[in-house]
Amino acid sequence: MHSTLTEYARCVYGDEYRPTPECGRPHSEHFFLEKLTFAEPDAILAMLRELCPYLVDGYLPVRIRNLAYRLLLLQRPDDPSLLRDAARSLRLHGPDWDEIAEELLRKAEELEIR
């Protein structure tokens, strides 16, 4: 059994920096997504920081990163640091999300001015 969201993600997607643990269980992205959906913000943030420490790296798929940041921002909508991290991640993975990234950066600036 995986004790953290990070461990489960590492088993499902691998890790650029550590070997994938051999846990002897089948891994399902479907089940991982359920875990991610209901994870606490600190667990999601820990997974992103550990598996993608430089934003452009790691084996975590872009769709999973985007979902993770979206779930974080739903739980912590007034965190300028998270807003900026989410914006940086969106910008790094293509122009499709540039407009959303700009909005996140504007919101982060507004929050810091208050």
Q: Are the C-beta atoms of 107 and 86 separated by less than 8 Å?
A: no
Tokens representing 84 are: 């900026």
Q: What is the pTM of this model?
A: 0.91
| Segment 56-105, tens digit of pLDDT | 889 999 999 999 999 999 999 999 999 999 999 999 887 899 999 999 99
- Token pair in block for residue 103: 């909005």
Amino acid letter for position 49: R
- How far apart CA 83 and CA 107 sit, in angstroms, is 8
User: Mind giving me the DSSP string for 50-70?
Assistant: HH-TTSS-SSS-HHHHHHHHH
The domain of 44 spans: 5-113
Structural domains in the chain (count): 1
Tens of pLDDT along 17-68? 888 777 777 788 999 999 999 999 999 999 999 999 988 889 999 999 999 9
